[in-house]
Structure 1
Amino acid sequence: MQLDDWMHQEPRRFEYFHRLMGYIMLSLVLVVYHQTVPDTSYQIFIPFLLVLLLLLSPKLSQWLTYRYNSNIKRNVFFIIDVAVVSVMLAAVHLDLVLSFLGLSALLYTAISNKISFLMTTLASLIGTTVFYLSAILVFGLGNYFEQSSSELTILGFICLMMYFGVGSFYQSGRVQYMTKKKNHYFDQMNRYMEFANQLSRYAPVQLWQSIMKGESEAKIEYKRKKLTIFFSDIQGFTELSETLIPDDLAFLLNDYLSHMTEIAKKYEATVDKFMGDAILIFFGDPNSEGVEQDAKNCLEMALAMRQQMKLLRERWVKMGYPPLHIRMGISTGYCHVGNYGANHRMAYTIVGRDANLAARLQSAAEVDEILISDDTHNLIKNDYLCAPKKPIFLKGIKAPVRTWQVMERYAFQKVEYQRWFDYEYKGFHLLLNLDEVQNFDYPNLIEVLERMIKRIETQQKLTNSQGIVKLKLEDEVIETVPPETIR
């Protein structure tokens, strides 16, 4: 167990250990070769060279890793191993068995260390050069490709099998260790993702995604942006809570909030908070499609919520609950949005006049009414049919607030609902701006337009097709034509 831990925790130590093992085997083979083959002299000094390389290799490995990287280090040591084997092959005069075993060990080293083909080719050229230099300058050009003795053959195969076995044992153990570690990290990642998903339910999904992607940080900061704010609550829910048991009250509230939240999610709204049956939602941060489109998305969401509430109300009535209705207020303006609180506990929310205005509009709205501010109306009036309401005084706001009731989205051509008319043709000029007309002025406008229509119809009866005014019968002159002219 300790050997496995040592191998897995210190791969560089095993690399040194494996090289030490290979060099010892080479030294043993050369010593036996020196003792069993006549006319050998310098082969006995090669083990001393290998000991020197083993002593220098830790420092060299550390320097290469620090100066370059581990890949360069592996390539350099592979070239050194090729040079060592080349010297050994020159020392044994390319003994058939020993040459095969040495080349097999190099091939195994190249594969296990993932040496590239280009580097293998370069190392082969260097090894060939080292081989000929060693043969010419040190060991001489003797008889090559001779048969190995039985002692060298057995010893060589035993050394090669041990070299392969230790390396394969390490590789398989390393693979198992990494697989186990990967599975452990994968399980931990799934566990943390489950925790993150659970925690994300306590924060707006856009904020959570932004933090997970590294686009924002969980720190106290805020910014000023133009937002569209939505506020709604259930009419009479406080009184209803006094008559229902807690289980029924919790069912109604959770059923309502879950459906409204799904609609808000569909329109990519930022759900700020739930305050009992009240919902605070805004558009424009952290994601925005532009101020105008944010306002339109908010209106679409409000209409969808109102429609969904009709379905919920019908279902609740069938279940024996009283009919419930909602009121909604929407405003658009500049607010401060960001993280407020302390370093250990903060909340992502909005602060500003228009946030309070949306709440006040909701309080002033009628049952199932969507009441919007004048700034919001200016952004959506080309796509939604809205009815102006009398300016109202709201708590906390000094000046009267001009409000609009959202009716529906234009389903036909906009000309049927256009709010500005400017038509001029040959003595006729109509200029009408419905944005400046209050609902109590509509009867007067209709009366004036009806008088205009009657006057035009009277004028049409007084003129002929050429536009000439018709005369009365007594005004017409009858001319007598002489008979001779008729001929």
Structure 2
Amino acid sequence: MPGYMNATDSSQEPRSGSALDDAPKAIPPLPDFNGRVLGSAAFCAIIVAGVVDGIFHQNMLWLLAAGLVWPHAMTLISRRIDLYRQPRIHQYLLLGECIIGGAVIGLTGLTPVPALAMTLMLMFSCLIVGGIYLWFYGTLLLSAVAGLVVGLMGVTDDFTTPVLTSVVSLLGTGIYICVTAYYTHIQARSLLAAKGQIQKQREQSIALSDKLSKYLSPQVWQSIFTGERDVRLETRRKKLSVFFSDIKGFTDLSEEMEPEGLTELLNNYFNEMSEVALRYGGTIDKFVGDSIMIFFGDPSSRGQKEDAQACVSMAIDMRNHMKIMRQRWRSQGIRTPLEIRMGISSGFVTVGNFGAENRMDYTIIGKEVNLASRLEQLAEPGQILVSYETFSLIKERIMCRDKGEITVKGFGRPVAIYEVIDFRRDLGPNRSFVEHEHAGFAMYLDSGKICERDRNAILEALEEAADRLREEESDR
């Protein structure tokens, strides 16, 4: 007797690799019990009509009891073994019903109309519950069993079907198909509504996560939302490279500018420096006043040496970019010279989530953090100071100058420090950059970053400036 299985999520099921396992898990339209009751009632009505018309043997009336008990028995079994959580078992159960249905069809002697009606109901159930795969296996089993029973019991002598049996068969099949089609329509509408709601919630979640991502470094946000890291109070020891910077002259500028203009300038500075940091893979920890704290090596790391080199490379790029920003600010009427100073230290720190269960801060603590902050405070405008540990990791690629030793709280011995000069490849006659800054003139040229499209425009601008200076010189 055909019945329909309740929809469940099959994503957690183990796959056995059989062809039936690959069948699409279509969501059935009728509850399990109701579907079986309707199918069993149609089967029983066809058998009764056939017995009344005399084309079926009276012994087939015992199938009425089985048809009445079947839905209740299957519901009881389903509850006991929790079949509602196993869609594949539901499909196997429907295949069992195809076997029983094939036997009943065989007992009818393949009387055309009743046999066709029962077959249609069973195949319709297979198509909806399991798609073409279940329909194929169901048809195969039904045909095999019906053929076996017919081989044992024989085929009907008269292939004409009386009116009553034909009417009941067609009416029962029609009602079964119409009712299940109606439930399919209702469920399809419900699924569409649910899909729309899920899509709406998904868009809201994306918008919310995008807003929340502004408060976290991209690396931290990604590790949380991809499930790589749990949001709980936990820390670990790890070797990182820590960077601090601030703006020399910012305090004087804050006394000259209005708060609104100062805020806009500071946000613009933070925005551009953040882009530089992210380009090198740095994790932005926090902004404090005009200071920036960044670290390399967590939550993702390319190795201690690569992290240190990326950190110092970022600092050099920031120092160079500050010259471009200074020209822009000068054109906006800001005359106070703003210089960036930076400190970098490498070593073991404690990194992770600090705070309370309901309010956490992903940050780092340790003496290397204090050392980087101290180096930033000691640095002159435009200077990058690094610890000996950082120097040992970057010295092959970056030229540094020994600046002696300093005493730092938390360190038992004086700490050797070094000043970053530049990349070794950019030193000497083959360097890719040229820079000059005087009253009324500022230029920063990095030929390695100029594309062919901009080269002619830059040459024309330089020639025009040179012609102007020559004309003024000749007029004197």
TM-score (norm 1): 0.76
Q: 1:72 to 1:173 in 2, by over 3 A?
A: same
How big is the shift at 1:326? 0.7
Match of 1:201 among 214, 233, 244: 214
Q: Does structure 2 retain, via aligned residues, the 8 Å contact 1:228–1:283? A: yes
Describe how 1:421-460 pairs up with structure 2 within 5 A: none
2:420 maps to which residue? 406
> How has the CA–CA distance of structure 1 residues 214 and 395 changed in structure 2, closer, same or farther, with 3 Å as cutoff?
same
Q: Which residue of 1 aligns with 2:41?
A: 24
Gap change, CA 1:222 and 1:371, over 3 Å in 2:
same
Which of 87, 100, 112 is residue 70 of structure 1 equivalent to? Answer: 87
Q: Residue type matched to 1:126 in 2?
A: V
When residues 319 and 205 of structure 1 are mapped into structure 2, their CA distance, relative to the original with a 3 A threshold, is same
Structure 2 residue 162 is matched with structure 1 residue 169? no
CA distance in 2: counterparts of 1:39 and 1:103, whole angstroms: 17
2:141 maps to 1:126? no
| Whole-angstrom distance in 1 between the partners of 2:423 and 2:321 | 16
Instruction: Indicate how the Cα distance of structure 1 residues 101 and 331 shifts in structure 2: closer, same or farther if over 3 A, else same.
Output: same
Query: SS at the partner of 1:113?
Result: helix
Find out whether 1:301 has 2:318 as its counterpart: no
Q: C-alpha offsets along residues 304-351 of structure 1, whole Å, 9 cap, x if unaligned?
A: 111111111111110112331111111112211111111111211111
Which letter does structure 2 place at the counterpart of 1:61?
Answer: S
- Larger displacement relative to structure 2 (71-80 or 20-29): 71-80
Alpha-carbon deviations, 1:252-281, whole Å to 9, x = none?
Answer: 110000011111111111111110110011
- Shift, 1:43, TM fit: 3.5
Report the equivalent of 1:113: 129
The reply to whether residue 389 of structure 1 matches residue 403 of structure 2 is yes
Q: 1:402: Cα distance to partner?
A: 2.3
**Shift in CA distance, 150/412, structure 1 to aligned 2, threshold 3 Å:** same
- Tell whether 2:383 aligns with 1:366: no
What is aligned with 1:87?
Answer: 104
Instruction: State whether residues 32 and 75 of structure 2, in contact with CA within 8 Å, keep that contact through their aligned partners in structure 1.
Output: no
Q: Does 1:329 align with 2:343?
A: yes
Q: Corresponding residue for 2:66?
A: 49
| 1:384-415 Cα distance to aligned partner (Å, 9 max, x none) | 1222224344567674432221111012699x
| Secondary structure of 1:223 counterpart | strand
CA contact (8 A) 1:229 1:355 kept: yes
Tell me the TM-score normalized by structure 2: 0.77
User: 2:353·2:363 contact (CA, 8 Å) conserved in 1?
Assistant: yes
Distance 1:372 1:86, change over 3 A: same
Would the aligned equivalents of 1:360 and 1:395 in 2 still touch at CA under 8 Å? no
Alignment partners' CA distance in 2, 1:281 and 1:250: 21
Choose from 330, 339, 351 the match for 1:317.
330
Report the residue type matching 2:113 in the other structure.
Answer: V
**DSSP 3-state at the match of 1:320:** coil
- Paired position in structure 2 for 1:484: none
Corresponding position of 1:459: none
Q: Residue 102 of structure 1: CA displacement?
A: 2.0
**Greater Cα shift, 46-55 or 284-293:** 46-55
Q: Deviations over 1:120-146 (max 9, x none)?
A: 42443234334555x36xxxx6514x2
Shift of 1:166: 1.4
Contact 2:233–2:357 (8 Å) recurs in 1: yes
Contact 1:8–1:177, Cα closer than 8 Å, also in 2: no
Alpha-carbon distance in 2 for matches of 1:380, 1:318: 36
Distance in 2 separating the partners of 1:255 and 1:380: 30
Q: How far apart are residue 79 of structure 1 and its match?
A: 2.1
| CA distance in structure 1 between the aligned counterparts of 2:262 and 2:283, rounded to whole angstroms | 26
Instruction: Say if 1:154 and 1:393 are closer, same or farther in 2 by CA, change over 3 A.
Output: same
User: Which residue of 372, 381, 389 corresponds with 1:375?
Assistant: 389
Judged with a 3 Å threshold, the aligned counterparts in structure 2 of structure 1 residues 209 and 282 are, in CA distance, closer, same or farther, namely same
When structure 1 is superposed on structure 2, of 318-327 and 66-75 the one drifting more is 66-75
CA contact (8 A) 1:386 1:407 kept: yes
Which segments of 5 or more consecutive residues in structure 1 lack a partner in the other structure? 1-6, 418-487
Q: Does 1:216 align with 2:229?
A: yes
Are residues 75 and 123 of structure 1, via their aligned partners in 2, closer, same or farther at CA, if it must alter by over 3 Å? farther
Is this contact kept in 1: 2:28–2:128, CA < 8 A? no
Q: CA deviation at 1:78?
A: 3.2
Change in CA separation of 1:247 and 1:413 when aligned onto 2, cut-off 3 Å: closer
The answer on whether the counterparts of 1:82 and 1:106 sit within 8 Å (CA) in structure 2 is: no
Q: Are 1:191 and 2:204 matched, yes or no?
A: yes
Stretch moving more, 149-158 or 102-111: 149-158
SS at match of 1:33: helix
Change (3 A) 1:396 1:54: closer
Q: Which residue of 2 aligns with 1:251?
A: 264
Check the 8 A contact 1:331/1:357 in 2, yes or no.
yes
Identity among equivalent pairs (%): 32
Residues 118, 26 of structure 1: alpha-carbon distance in 2 compared, 3 angstrom cutoff: closer
Distance between the aligned counterparts of 1:394 and 1:30, measured in 2? 98
Cα distance between partner residues in 1 of 2:301 and 2:290: 27
User: C-alpha displacement at 1:245, in angstroms?
Assistant: 1.1
SS of the residue corresponding to residue 242 of structure 1 reads: helix
Partner amino acid for 1:341? G
Determine which of 265, 275, 290 is the counterpart of 2:303: 290
- Match of 1:251, SS? helix
Instruction: Provide Cα deviations, 1:346-374, integer angstroms capped at 9, x if missing partner.
Output: 21111111111111111111111111112
Unaligned runs of 5+ in 2: 1-5, 9-26, 432-476
- Give the structure, 1 or 2, with the largest relative contact order (CA under 8 Å, sep 6 or more): 2
Larger radius of gyration: 1
Deviation at 1:202, TM superposition (A): 1.5
Is the 2:240–2:346 Cα contact (8 Å) retained in structure 1? yes
Letter in 2 for 1:50: G
Quote how far apart the aligned CAs of 1:161 are. Answer: 1.6
TM-fit CA distance, 1:183: 2.5
Partner deviation per Cα, 1:228-272 (whole Å, 9 max, x = no partner) = 111000112123222211110110110000011111111111111
Q: Give the structure 2 partner of residue 269 of structure 1.
A: 282
